[in-house]
Amino acid sequence: MGRKLLTEHINVEGIETLDVYRKHGGYRSVEKALKTMTPDEVVEEVKKSGLRGRGGAGFPTGLKWSFLAKPEGVPRYLVCNADESEPGTFKDRQLMSKLPHLLIEGMITSSYALGANTSYIYIRGELLYVLRILEKAIAEAYAAGFLGKNILGSGYDLDLFVHPGGGAYICGEETALLESLEGKRGNPRNKPPFPAVQGLYARPTVVNNVESIAAVPVIVNEGGDEYAKIGVGKSTGTKLFSACGHLNKPGIYEIELGLPVEEFIYSDEYCGGIWKGRDLKAVVAGGSSVPILPKELILKTAAGEDRLMTYESLSDGGFVTGTMLGSGGFIAMDETTSIVRNTWSFARFYHHESCGQCSPCREGTGWLEKVLHRLVHGHGQRHDIDLLVSVAKQIEGNTICPLGEAAAWPVAAAVRHFRDEFEWYVTHPQEATKPGAVYPGQLVRA
Amino acid sequence: MESTATAAKPQFSEAAKAEIERICKQYPEERRKSAMLPVLHIAQAEFGGWVSPEVQDLVAEVLGVKPIEVYEVSSFYTMFNLKPVGKHVLEICRTGPCMLRGSEELTAHLERITGAKVGGPASEDGLFTLKEVECLAACGFAPIVQVREKYYEQLDTPEAVDAMLTELRNQVHRPALPWEENGLPNALANN
């Protein structure tokens, strides 16, 4: 049983209230940081912890913080990215609705480290009910002196606000998020300048995922070195995985990085195996945008080693035989799943969510969806399969933001590992398009 | 953007006005436009579940921006309904993880029971509008429908769907928001 650094108390009754949260050690990191540490010392602990951005990119959080420009007399901002929308990912919603004070505590400690006096939590608009929970908790934190002027007599001031989105996956991209927070369409900005120099209102800004911020209190309390002892290599600490799809026990699991994937899927402590006694066919391990892997490759690397839940092990083999840890959105598919239909669903998603700024993404995601649509509906031709690969390639690397890659990778990977099944849709359209049809062939390995 | 001369200009309630002012104070004074999305959410809740051109003009006035700045935002984000809707908008998640757990069957089932079509006008009784949406970030509880601020999860049995529809049919007023004493009647503007 691994340690639970974030979710240990998630099921304690009343933990969403400040009193109960404090009884379980809440807000200690605020006292410790504001009373005994300089902001730079807090940044140093986060650097030492090896914490990597939990939103999907996996960039070291402490390093990101150290890039923040600090011109004299210019306000700077911390913005929490709570625009959780990557298909398969639902950890932040859970964390915020059940442990609102953990995020608030993390925001205070992190804002202090960065020297921000106003901070925002940008939450996806669909989660207005979670915004209400956060606002209630924030009001409690103000009343208890953890927010507002001269927090705990330290001379440090902080205002914290929650801002709702309006329904747009693209606002999870940090510069689109900032545009949205300024009351505009969520069009990602050209970089540079990066938000660390010109972010919200053209001021220096750090944007961090909910789970990254929520890890800061434990890092400050126990020290970065202690945190870094958990995990394997450069994958330190614990990570929340959102398990969904054809599992016996879908849900949120906090694991110590380094757990074998096989144990995560089959152990009763975690997902409890594949539903209905079926066999596993494939897994998308880090949210819809990462490459899908067939059962053999998600359980073992191409070299035959156990695949571990770490940034490095999941990406072992590159995109030929590996994938990415991403946001930790873990989607399992049983042996009856149509990979082609599922790929079409993801392509439709990215087409729908493309902001339309860059032609390769705007047009390319449309092509992907259309070609997959005709395959799924029995009108595909053999050259359509290569067309998918070609369109995916032409999107990749040619867009302002990573939504293009997010759309291209799943399609390219599905064709790479399941080409036979795509061909079956071309050669046996009537059979393949029957409701509930199951591909009878064997999986192909790259 | 036609407006009929006879239609009375929409106005926010006093409670909503106070809430809007509270929200605007969260941003620097010269950045009132930042309140765009929260104010559009309030407007949609206030005026029957959708934002008409007149309502969007009102939002522009309240924020001190040009109407086009509101139109370009409301048309970008999927949560804002730009056409009249039924009393309850059922937003059905259609993305991969929900699809794996039966969202297509759920959609077909909801179309059969309500008589409404996804993307079409409200059911004949004016109760339900069906809308397909992309991932609602609750994939472990699929399939999911969102109605206003509430998530209905694990709708994989007819009983679960019936329970949701019964609850909605019995809702005369939408649930009150934190700044309101009572919820407003559903579908103010389009009855």
pLDDT digit string, tens, across residues B134-143: 999 999 999 9
Most B-contacting residue of A94, A120, A126 (CB-CB within 10 A), to test interface: A126
pTM for this one?
0.96
Could you say which of 3.40.50.2300, 3.10.20.600, 3.40.50.1220, 1.10.1740.10 is the CATH number of the domain covering A233-334?
3.10.20.600
Residue B97 sits in a domain of what CATH number? Answer: 3.40.30.10
Tally the C-alpha atoms within 13 A of residue A340's C-alpha that lie toward its C-beta: 29
* CA of A48 vs chain B CAs: smallest distance (Å): 32
In a mutational test of the A interface, the residue from B107, B134, B146, B151 whose CB has the highest number of chain A CBs within 10 Å is B134
A126 vs B: CB within 8 A = yes
- At residue B124, what is the residue type? E
**Do B50 and B94 belong to one domain?**
no
Chain A to chain B Cβ contacts (< 8 Å)? 152
What digits encode the pLDDT tens for the residues A219-231?
999 999 999 999 9
Residue among A129, A182, A353 minimizing CB distance to B134: A353
**CATH architecture of the domain covering A18-229:** 3-Layer(aba) Sandwich (3.40)
pLDDT value for B191: 35
| Residues in a beta bridge with A82 | A123
Question: Burial, A442: exposed, middle or buried (Cβ in 10 Å; 0-12, 13-18, 19+)?
Answer: exposed
Residue pLDDT, tens place only, A16-27? 999 999 999 999
Is the pLDDT reported for residue A340 higher than 70? yes
Q: How does pLDDT run across B46-85, given as a tens digit for each residue? A: 999 999 999 999 999 999 999 999 999 999 999 999 999 9
Is B93 found in the same domain as B61?
A: no
DSSP character for A251? E
Q: Where are the beta strands (DSSP E) in A318-411?
A: 329-334
Q: How is chain A split into domains, by residue range?
A: 18-229, 233-334, 339-432
In this prediction, residue B59 carries a pLDDT of: 98
Residues A406, A89 contacting (CB under 8 angstroms):
no
Kindly report, residue by residue over A57-85, the tens digit of the pLDDT. Answer: 899 999 999 999 999 999 999 999 999 99
Q: What is the ipTM of this complex?
A: 0.95
Choose among A85, A159, A348: nearest Cβ to B137: A85
Q: How confident is the model at residue A349 (pLDDT cuts 50, 70, 90)?
A: very high
Instruction: Report if residue B83 sits inside a domain.
Output: no
B37 touches chain A (CB under 8 A): yes
pLDDT in tens, A141-185: 999 999 999 999 999 999 999 999 999 999 999 999 999 999 999
Contacts of A302 (CB under 8 A, 6+ apart): A316, A317, A320, A321, A322
Residue in chain A closest to B80 (alpha carbons) equals: A166
Among B35, B80, B149, beta carbon nearest to A129: B149
Domain that holds residue B161: 88-169
Q: Which CATH number fits domain A339-432: 2.40.10.120, 3.40.640.10, 3.10.105.10, 1.20.1440.230?
A: 1.20.1440.230
A333 touches B at CB < 8 Å:
yes
Residue range B38-53, pLDDT digits in tens? 999 999 999 999 999 9
pLDDT band (50, 70, 90) for residue B181:
confident
B47/B93 same-domain check: no
Distance CA A214, CA A110 (A): 10
Q: How confident is the model at residue A445 (pLDDT cuts 50, 70, 90)?
A: very low
Nearest to A244 among B36, B76, B142 (CB): B142
